[in-house]
Amino acid sequence: MAARWVTKKNGDLEKFSKTKIIKGCKKSGCNAKHAQLVANKVASKSYDKISTRKVGLLVVTHLRKVNPKAAASFNRVFSRNWRSM
């Protein structure tokens, strides 16, 4: 599979990273197993040059299914970062 890119809020491109998703899920209170599951689901739904906003929304959507409390925590931080848009 070719490398996928993520379009950041400032317009820069960055390689898609499941590791970043896993870290974000864990910081929100998710265990490693669920964090990996969410990262895999998001990776399967992502596409080249997807925006960080869409990645975040996918994370919240899938995280809500496995750990609603962690999803709420992730969403608070995620929403705060996107208010300026």
pLDDT of 85 reads 45
**Is 50 domain-assigned?**
yes
- Tokens, residue 72: 């709420």
**Is 45 domain-assigned?**
yes
Are the C-beta atoms of residues 52 and 28 closer than 8 Å to each other? Answer: no
* Best CA proximity match to 82, nearest among 7, 5, 9, 21: 9
Q: What does the alpha-carbon distance between residue 18 and residue 1 come to, in Å, rounded to a whole number?
A: 14
* Domain tally, the chain: 1
Q: What does the alpha-carbon distance between residue 25 and residue 63 come to, in Å, rounded to a whole number?
A: 8
Look up the pTM and report it. Answer: 0.89
Domain containing 52: what range? 17-82
pLDDT band for 32, please (50, 70, 90 cuts): very high
In this predicted structure, the answer to whether residue 60 has a pLDDT above a threshold of 90 is yes
Higher pLDDT, 1 or 82: 82
pLDDT band for 1, please (50, 70, 90 cuts): low
**Is 37 domain-assigned?**
yes
Are the C-beta atoms of residues 4 and 47 closer than 8 Å to each other? Answer: yes
